Amino acid sequence: MNIPSSLIIGNKYHQAGGLREYANALANGNETWQKDVGNFLLAWLSPTPEISVQTSGSTGTPRFISHTKAAMIESAKATGQMLKLEAGQTALLCLSANTIAGMMMMVRAMVFQMNLMIVKPSAHPLSEIRESIIPDFAAMVPVQVYNSLKSKNEFTILSKIGNLIIGGGEISKSLEDELIDFPNALFATFGMTETITHIALRQLNGENRSAFFRVLPGISISTDERNCLLIDAPRIRPGRIITNDLVEMIASDKFIWLGRYDNVINRGGLKIIPELIENKIAGEIKNRFFVTGIADEKYGQIPVLVIESAAFEKQEEEILLKKLQSLVQKSLLPIKIFTVKSFTETHSGKVNRGKTLQKSGIQGF
């Protein structure tokens, strides 16, 4: 396979030699985020057929895995086919180039000969964008989208990005509700480092808004005996990818994500999926939170609510628990509330439930 070696950055065309010079300058600079861009481009231009990427660590210990450049190109093509990416369009890189998500924005720009706009990864990446040059395509994490909604100028930019994919973490119901009426096309992504970012998209707004994910071209899916997703993506990775993601299959190429098998709470034989409970109660809790299980003498495990907050007064806890009673059936209802001053995160910014519980002394399961 022909590996592209040119890239348009800020409307300036860089061929192989020029791109290597550009990458070297970044790699030897002072800013970490620019070094990451430079180092990836140098790795891409090297004769080595593979790129090494670190996993997020959200479901286990972070580790390095390798993807072939050919597979990364196939992944880029699948995204481009789904979103109809074209040469001459502008793509925004506002994620760390040290992650697979950031790397793939550069690969897509190379494959489709798009103009790449690079800004420093931050909580407010759109603050650096002028309204006269709005990207046709961008990828952001939920917190970046959330913050952009709070600024008038950033809100305007956000609403004009042609195709925006949002991944790297769960999109809360409240955030999704704020995006429903946007005029552009917004998508939630499903994927992981092992699948070279997303293998499925779910539209969040417009006439094609949906509760289910649709897989990209060249991807086949099924489920195992646990109802966890199995992914066959021969152009991207050999062999079947076994996940711990509980799903409901809607069709051979569509599924609804329910939650993580690792997080399931077994309350006296009743299997509770925390993510489904979290979705129902999200409107009542402003701070970050999650539902988990703790050991119980009678039931084995019971569901509890963990909120990123200063300690609650007993009366506050009782009021919130009473509100939740109208949203969740009694057998699924969190029985107790724990507060944690600050959640532990993975290096990619996701909440690490296990380490948060461990650090706070909450006896999870």
Q: What domains does the chain contain, in order, with CATH numbers?
A: 7-217 (3.40.50.12780), 264-360 (3.30.300.30)
Candidates 128, 114, 121; CA nearest to 80 is: 114
The pLDDT value recorded for residue 365 is 46
The pLDDT value recorded for residue 56 is 67
Give how far the C-alpha of residue 27 lies from the chain's centroid of Cα atoms, to the nearest Å: 26
* Residues in the chain, total: 365
CA angle 340, 345, 186 (to 5 degrees): 110
Enumerate the H helices of the chain as residue ranges.
16-27, 32-45, 69-83, 100-111, 142-148, 152-158, 173-179, 274-281, 314-325, 353-360
**Alpha-carbon Rg for the chain in angstroms:** 21
Coil vs helix vs strand at 237: coil
What the block records as the tokens of 336 is: 């107790």
- Residues 115-167: tens digit of each pLDDT: 999 999 999 999 989 888 899 999 999 999 999 999 999 999 999 999 999 99
Give the integer Cα–Cα distance in Å for 80 and 198: 12
Whether the CB-CB separation of 104 and 196 falls below 8 Å is answered with: yes
DSSP 8-state symbol, 344: -
Amino acid (one-letter) located at 94: C
The pLDDT value recorded for residue 57 is 58
Percentage of residues in the chain with pLDDT exceeding 90?
Answer: 78
**What pTM value is reported for the model?**
0.89
Taking the alpha carbons at both ends of the chain, their separation in whole angstroms is 47
Of residues 56 and 80, more confidence is placed in 80
The residue assigned the tokens 């925006």 is 164
The pLDDT value recorded for residue 338 is 93
- Residues 262-312: tens digit of each pLDDT: 999 999 999 999 999 999 999 899 889 999 999 888 889 999 999 999 888
The pLDDT value recorded for residue 184 is 97
Enumerate the H helices of 190-327 as residue ranges.
274-281, 314-325
The pLDDT value recorded for residue 58 is 56
Whether the CB-CB separation of 267 and 299 falls below 8 Å is answered with: yes
Give the integer Cα–Cα distance in Å for 10 and 306: 44
For β-strands 228-232 and 220-223, DSSP reports them as antiparallel
Average the pLDDT over 323-332 and give the result. Answer: 91
